[in-house]
Amino acid sequence: MNYETDLERSVRKALDGYFRDLDGEKPQGVYEMVISCVERPLIEAVLTRVEGNQTHAAEMLGINRNTLRKKMKTHGIKG
């Protein structure tokens, strides 16, 4: 059985609202939009959890520390 998580439900609900609000306009760049909207709060929450330790945050996220730093710069997240 596949159970939908709270996070999945939230994303689905937000996307349903997004598509509904387009009012007939053709959606574009949905993937990048969603990733961008989710990535910043994800990184911020993990950094808070590890008290700003970028090495631990990268490990928790399953990404390279340099990748984390690049994403932090992209999203304007202070180290």
**What is the per-residue pLDDT for 79?**
80
What pLDDT does 24 receive?
A: 86
What residues in the chain have per-residue pLDDT under 70?
1
CA distance 52 to 8: 27
State if pTM tops 0.85.
Answer: no
- pLDDT number for residue 1: 66
pLDDT at 70: 97
d(CA 73, CA 48): 16
How many other β-carbons are positioned within 10 Å of the β-carbon of residue 43?
20
